[in-house]
Structures are given as C-alpha cells and as structure tokens.
Chain A
Amino acid sequence: MIPFNYKDLYYKSTTQRDIIVLDGVNYSISNVKLIGDCYVDGNVFGTAVARQLEFTIDNSIDIEEKEFEYRTQIKDENTFRTISLGNFIVTEVEPNDTTTLNRVVAMDYMLKTNIPYQSDLNYSTDITLLQVLQELCTKCGLTLDTLDFANKNFIVDSNQFNEGELAREVLQAIAQITGTIATIKYNNHLALICPNDVTTTSLVLDKSKYITAEIKRNTNPINILTIQLDDNIEGENTTLRDEESIAIYGENRLVITNNPFAYTEEKREALITALFDKVKGFEYKAFEMKLQGLPFLEICDKIQVKDMNNTSYNSYVFRYEYTSPDGLHSYIQAPSIIKAEVEYENIAGAYDRARRTEIWVDKANQTINTLVNNVMDITNDTTGMDTIELENCLEGYVVNFTIYGNNEVFSGLTPSDTLTPSNTLTPKGSSLLHIYSLNRIDSESKEWEIGSFGTQIGYNKFVHAEGLIITIPKEKLTDRNIYISVESKNYAVGDVRGYNNGLPVFSQTFMSDTPVQEASYEISQEDFEEITEIEVMFYGCRVDRKDTTTIYYKPIEVSNLAEMKPMLTCTTTRQPYARYNDYTIDLGVTEPLRFINEVVRDKLVIENNNATITRKIRVDEYGNLVERETPLVQNLGYAYVYLVEGNNYIDILEYQAICYARWVIVNEFTNTFATSVELESSITQMANSINLQVMKKVNNDEIIARINMAVLNKDEVEVPDDINNSIIQISADKIQIDSKKFHLTPDGQIKATAGYLANWNIEENKLTTEGYSTFIPSELDYKLLESYIRGNSELSNLQMYLYDLNDDNVLNVLDLVLMRNIINGTEQSTKRVHR
C-alpha cells in the first residue's frame, strides 16, 4: 500500500530517482519508462498484458535474464520516499555502442504465464473454474489475489487446452468468461479485476494535475451480451439483453466468441447470466492525458477527470506510460473504440479444437455439412536495424513492412554554398530499399576445373559458400601444402580433412579464433602417406556483393601451389548459395522520418502493396520538432516487397533505422490450407466485391470450391464499370440450386418453369418462341457501337446488352464486325429481345 502523503509529492515539481534491487543490492537506473496496458484491439475484457519496464544501467552489472525489484523514489524535503512497483524479469539487454550503459527491457510476473499449459486436474470430479485458475497460478508460480469472480463455480468437465496453448491463453479465456481484466498488481500477485466492481475512486484529476487532457466521448453502456461459437454459424449463440437500457442508449453489445469454456449451448446458458450481471452497464469516459507520472496509479484504477470547467467524468486507467526522472513526459489513457456501437470481440487462441468437435458431433447430419474452416494465421515477424532477415518465407508479398523514424532515415544532403564535391562524396537523399534472397541453387554435384592458380568458383550474384565441400584426390596433389584464399568481405571458416578411402585420417580447421581470408596447411608426412583424398569444407564463407549485375569469379581458391601444376579437377558435393530475387525499389521519400520518442515518431508502412507515411511530427519555425495534433498521412501509392520462398533480406540503403516486417511463413499446411493472410488479402484488395473461398486446397493452387460475387454499394445508382466487366463464378464439384421456378440438381439436371433458353421461351409445360423477337441492328446501331468502341460516346444498359452480339460480355470490334455482317445479310442475328 502506498502512503497517501507520498502521492502529494507528485502534485508539485519533483526530484525523482529510480533503483532496482538485484540480489539484495541497490543499483541506480536512469531513463526509466514503465508501460502498463489492458486495452487490446478495442477491448479490455479478457486481456492479460504484462507491464513493461525499460531503463539504462551501467554495463558492468550482470542483469541478463535476472529478476529484480523496481523501486521509484521521490524527494521529500531532504529525504527520498520509496514506492515499490513490483518485481520484473529481464527479457532483453541491448548494449550501447558509444556509452558504458546497457538498455534493459523487463516484464512483470505476467511473463511467468508464457509457458505451455498443462493440467493435472481430474475432470471426472467437479472441477470449478476457480480451481482451474488456482492450478494455473500454482504451475506458473503466481499468487492469486482474486478468489471471488463471476462463474467461479462453473464446472469445467474437460481440459479444452491440450494443443500446446500457453498458460497466458488459458488465463485470457478465464478472464474473458468472467468479465475481468487479468493483471499483476504491485504486490506481484495476479488479480482478476471487473471494472464494474471497482467502486473506489483512486484520484480526482483536475486541471492542476494535468498538462493537457483530451476528454473524448462517453462509451455507451453494455446492454447486450452474446456468447457465440462462431459468427458464421447460425443458432450457435446465446444472448441476454437489457431492454430498458436498449430503449435509452440503443444496442451496445459485448460479443464473446469461441471461448473454450463455452463450447456447447448448455455451457453458454450456464455462463451467461453471471457474466451479464458483471458487465451490464459498463461504460466510461474516454480520455488521454499528459501529466506528471503518477506511479501509484495502477491499471484499472477508477479515476475522476475534471475538465477546464470543472465538470467531472468517471473513467479508468486502461493504459499508461510513466517516465522518470523526467516524469512530466508521462501520460495515462482510457482509449475508446472508433465505432459508435460498442462491440467487443475476443477470439481466444485455443478455441479451435472445441469448436470443431461440436460441429462434427452436433451438425454432422444437418444441412451444414461441416464448415471447412481450417484457416490459420501462419506468419512471423521481426524487428531489426538497417538490414532485416525474413526467414522461411512463403513466396508472395510481404504482409507489413514498416520503417520507424529516427530523424536520420531519408534525410537528404543539403549542400552548403562552399561545398566542394570530392570523388569520395556519397550522396544522401535516396530512399532505396534493397530486397534479395539467399537461397541454395539447384542441388547437383559439379566438376570444377582447377587452374594453375587453384580452384576458381564463382557464380553470377554469388554471395554465399556455406556448406561448400571441395574434394581433391591425392593423386592430384603434388606436395603436402594446401593453400586457401577467399576473396571475401567478411571471412571464411572451414576444415581441411584427409581421408583414407572414406575413413578420417586428420582434420584441421583453417580458422582458429579470428576470421581469415587466407590460410595454408601442411599435411604431415605420416598423414600424407596414409590419405587417399582430401576434402576442403567451408562451413562459413560470405561474400557480400552489392554489384549483382557482373559475373564474378574467383571468390574462393583452393590450391596446391608448390609446383604450380596445371589443371586439376575436383568435385563440389554440396552446393553453394546463390542470390536471386534481387531488386531495388525507390520509395521516393525526400523528407526524413522524424522521432521525438518511441510513441511519437513518423513511420513508413508498406501494406497491401501500398506505401503510406504517417507523420506525427512537424518542424516549427524555430527548427524544433513538434508533435502534430493530427498525424499527417501521406499516400505514396503502389509499392511492393515481393518475397521468394526461403530466407529474404530487406536492406535500407544509405540509412540505418529500425524496421519491422511481418510475412507468411512456409508451414506444414502451406500446400493444404490457405492462410488467413491470403484470405485477408483477397478481401481487402477488392473494393466492392467479396471473394469467399472454401479454404481447403487440393494442390498448391487448386481450390475445390469458390464463389466470386460482386455487390453494389448502397449509393451506387448505376452499375459501375468494374462490375459490368466482372464475372460471377461458382466453381465446385457439385452445385445445387433450389428456387421457386428453377432447380439445378447436384447430378446436373435442370428444372425450369419459366425463362428463356436457347431461343426458346420457357413457360409452364411448354416451350414457345412467342413474346420474343430477334434483334436486327440498323446502320444507326452500327454507328453508335463504333462510336462507343472508339471511346467517343456512351451506351445505355439495354444497348450494351443488344450490341453484344456474340454474347461474350465484352463490346469490342468483334461485335462490330458481326453487326456489319448481319446488316449486310451475310450472317444472322441470334440476339433475343423481349417484345
């Protein structure tokens, strides 16, 4: 418990300092940032987010992967008051190249839940949700503070988490179905907090306590709760409504989707009432506030915010970032979702098995013939400086590539009046991205000619010789000396090995501690007499060459130079790497991406083959960097990063900056199922159409069923061009249509009671030609069509239909020729028109 009088110290100018207690010893730390959060994807219920602590510390202190207590201190007269903010575990230590300080990132005890979940409970007895949570805490080494919560006595009859889920995912599922937020308190204990249960206001924040406050809209109270299996399955949801509230505020729903504890209707019925009682009426005032950091405020604390007119609003601390010792750079937030309707939706990662089981068991004999929905999100991401490596890529476009501003990246060179260019001047100002891959070339053994100066091995765009083995028979050697020379920007390491008919005789590494470019080895007389062949194996050799347009030879030489003997032959038994998919794109950015702090910084994002820059920072008239009130989004237009299968690299030429990339990885399902990324891509890239695909693939690119549909927007009065030119395509092994007057049976029979088929008018029990006539074009029609094809005039929808004389859905010169022939009487019109 934090003494109340300590809090007062934060309401005036402060002198703060921070320490950690590591193995019982106090160490000073600086540049501290403490980040708390419980708001994820527009939702607070069911979240379990670790607090993150970042700071710098002297690099003489061994802190890697260690646990420590974090204490912040504030000066009170001539003494410092201490507040303990709990224990943290180090996850990252980053050395600084120019100082003796390390940058450290640590997480609170929520990190302990990042372990595979295992349960030893006997589910044949009446195991409650509380017992599941208690066992989870025991296994994670956590103390549970909250023993009373909604649905705590719900009977869990089986373990739904046995497919390698993390304990964190189980905790999230429990928090979700109990209407709570899982968080680690400053006493290091796990708490499940229901915001509606927090009745005490921790603090009143008036204008004397904040620098700026953006007080946003009120979220509307939750008045509908739905627990559902999947929004695609009708009837698999259970809903409770508060009609009185709906009449006043309209519908504001909380949707819990695919919670593993609620996988049957019976279970949903059992869970929903207590859950609704907890979340019903939940509302808050959204706000964002810059202020002196108040570390005694914890996640989900209730606060009262007073605006400039002293009007009070109730809200919560859902997100904060405290800094120290410069505490005035802190902020707290209760973010709000953009949509008018408050809709929360959680999709827990562990629902799949339970959901599928019910579909198979309960739906097998009904009209839904098992929804084929094995959609997986199989992506990977990475963050790095300058050049980043994307491992195990599936061929296709990168999902997301982001460059974060640092005031340097894409900054141009501004020459002064007195600048005299030299030959070595490297111009800045480009915004080039270099994308390439390092993949093995087709595997095959190859005979290499050894010239008088040894083996010369080279490829066009050769960059890597890892795994290269050169075998030389003893009879090709003239003496006991082996010379290795590598023209490499980096280094080469490897072994020289001698064999007697395949049995090892000696092995010598030609690099010891430091990388070498040249080495020699003298085989002893004794070994030389015994061997029948030698092997030179490179297990690390990298030749980075930016110039990939020139055929380049001789990166590696292996020779036996003593007698400069002519022409030897050796065999490479493993293949070197070759670079391909090598290209450069210019983003056309001329203004640097700027940086104030890790929250306020510009970024460039390539997504969906489009590049945008979000500029959060501007330069004021004095040259200072100032945060924009509204970020400026610049659309750079079409840009792509195409990856080939294997490892790919993205390199920002000329600059260094932090980059992030997310890509689809090759996985065991690549050839069987489409990934959700592919699905997402196909939806987002089509502006007014929906592409529904049943996801199971037969081969790499064959899909057994597909429906392509184009739809009109509400405000589209006329049919847009892209729909006129579109196609509705239904592809499946069997298609069945049942309508009032038309039936198509799965075995291909057509039953129609009305319509028009091959020039025949279909009526009840008869086919006639009555009511229809054949369209005979005139010279005027010909001129109109010709003018349309030339792009000089428009046609009505009826004309578009009539002039499409060959019925290929395209008006072109073929229709024009056909029309001329029909007018001349050399061909007959088959175009039917209703009288």
Chain B
Amino acid sequence: MVFLRHNNFEFKNILSENYNIQEDIYDVLATETMADGSVRRNYGILPKTTIKIKFGRLNASDMTTYMSHFENNEGTYTYFSPKSNSTKTAIFYVEKPENSIVYADDSSKEYGEFEVTLKQIGVVS
C-alpha cells in the first residue's frame, strides 16, 4: 500500500496513525455577520487537501533520498484518498520538516522521526 509518491518514488516508513489527511476543504475568502446575526462566507472555487505525514527513523542515505523529494517549495504528489478509496494526484506546497539526529559517529548517522505537511495549491491539468 503506497500512501505517497513523488516522481515515481514511493515513500515508506510512515509511522502508524501518522498519515493524516483533510480532503476537499474550501478556502474562505470572506466572512461577514449579517445584520440579523447570521453568518455568510465567500468560498474559493478549488477544494483543497492537506496531508500531514510523520516518518520514522532513517539512516543517512535514506534521509538524503527522502529529503530530495521535499526539496522544492512546490511539487506534484500522488496520495491515497480515503474519501474516494483511491489514489489522486495534485500540486502541493511543501512545508519543510525539521530534522533531528538520534545517533552519529564517524561512519554512520541515524535521524529521528520527522513530519512533513503538504498543502494543496492546484490540480493537475
């Protein structure tokens, strides 16, 4: 089961209960309270999906590979949609992860768990 793919690279090592997805949320462009107390909103046209993924520990080599797929600010990612029970592809803004080192010596390093947030900014035409 692949939850996330980028340029044919399949992300693994996702921690249990740490593939969090919010699908089809509309941007709120304006919110106003009418004179009778009711609330009105203007929504954007494009429904947006936000994905938060936490990865487990990685060695230095895997970490380099993983990070190379989050290098650009924006990218096209394929993700699993629980709502449609299928995979979808969209353009996301990448909120870069914070990395921590668990262990390091002269020959090897091990990195701690890290979290990446992908916010949808467009559709693939």
Contact surface of A with B, Cβ cutoff 8 Å: 12-17, 75, 206-213, 292, 308, 325-329
Contacts and interface: CB of A to CB of B under 8 A. Distances in A.
Nearest to A329: B30
Nearest to A210: B35
Interface in B5-47: 26, 29-36, 38, 40-45
Contact of A211 (B26, B33, B41, B45): B33
A597 to B, nearest CB: 12
Given A211-B35, A292-B32, A329-B30, 6 more contacts: A13-B42, A14-B41, A207-B35, A210-B34, A326-B30, A326-B42
A761 to B, nearest CB: 78
A328 B35 contact: no
Contact of A325 (B29, B31, B32): B29
Contacts of B42: 13-16, 292, 325-328
Interface residues of B, number: 16
A487 B30 CA distance: 54
B37 to A, nearest CB: 9
Interface in B21-78: 26, 29-36, 38, 40-45
The winner among A15, A17, A212, A292 for most chain B CB atoms within 10 A is A15
Contacts of A13: 40-43
A308 B35 contact: yes
A328 B32 contact: yes
Please provide the 3 A-B residue pairs with the shortest distance between their CB atoms, ordered closest to farther.
A207-B35, A328-B30, A207-B36
A211 B43 contact: no
Interface string B88-110: 00000000000000000000000
A455 B67 CA distance: 64
A209 B45 CA distance: 23
9 contacts: A13-B41, A208-B34, A210-B34, A211-B32, A211-B33, A325-B42, A325-B43, A328-B31, A328-B42
A326 B29 contact: yes
A79 to B, nearest CB: 13
Contact of A208 (B29, B38, B41, B43): B38
B26 A208 contact: no
Given A325-B29, A329-B30, A12 B35 contact: no
B38 A15 contact: no
A326 B29 CA distance: 6
A325 B34 contact: no
B30 A213 contact: no
B26 A213 contact: no
Contacts of B32: 211, 292, 328
Contacts of B44: 15, 325
B94 to A, nearest CB: 21
Interface of B: 26, 29-36, 38, 40-45
- Most chain A beta-carbon contacts within 10 A, residue among B31, B35, B44: B35
B36 A208 contact: yes
Nearest to B33: A211
Contacts of A329: 30
Contacts of B41: 13-14, 328
Given A210-B35, A211-B34, A211-B35, A292 B40 contact: yes
Contacts of A325: 29, 42-45
A77 B38 CA distance: 20
A308 B37 CA distance: 11
B34 A15 contact: no
B40 A328 contact: yes
A12 B38 CA distance: 9
A107 B94 CA distance: 41
Contacts of B29: 325-326
B38 to A, nearest CB: 6
B40 to A, nearest CB: 5
A209 B43 CA distance: 18
B34 A207 contact: yes
Contact of A15 (B31, B35, B45): B45
Contacts of A12: 40
Contacts of A209: 34
A206 B42 CA distance: 20
Contacts of A208: 34-36, 38
A167 B30 CA distance: 42
A17 B38 CA distance: 23
B123 to A, nearest CB: 13
Nearest to B39: A13
Contacts of A213: 35
A211 B38 CA distance: 10
B9 to A, nearest CB: 30
B89 to A, nearest CB: 22
A212 B40 contact: no
Nearest to A28: B45
B47 to A, nearest CB: 10
A642 B54 CA distance: 67
A51 B111 CA distance: 62
Most chain B C-beta atoms within 10 Å of own C-beta, residue among A13, A206, A292, A325: A13
Nearest to B26: A15
A213 B32 CA distance: 14
A615 to B, nearest CB: 24
B24 to A, nearest CB: 12
B84 to A, nearest CB: 16
Nearest to B43: A15
Given A15-B45, A328-B40, A212 B35 contact: yes
Contacts of A292: 32, 40, 42
Contacts of B30: 326-329
A308 B35 CA distance: 8
B28 to A, nearest CB: 9
Contacts of B38: 208
B48 to A, nearest CB: 13
Nearest to A212: B35
A325 B43 CA distance: 8
A329 B40 CA distance: 12
B4 to A, nearest CB: 29
Contacts of B33: 211
Nearest to A290: B32
A659 to B, nearest CB: 30
Contacts of A210: 34-35
B81 to A, nearest CB: 18
Most buried by A among B29, B42, B44: B42
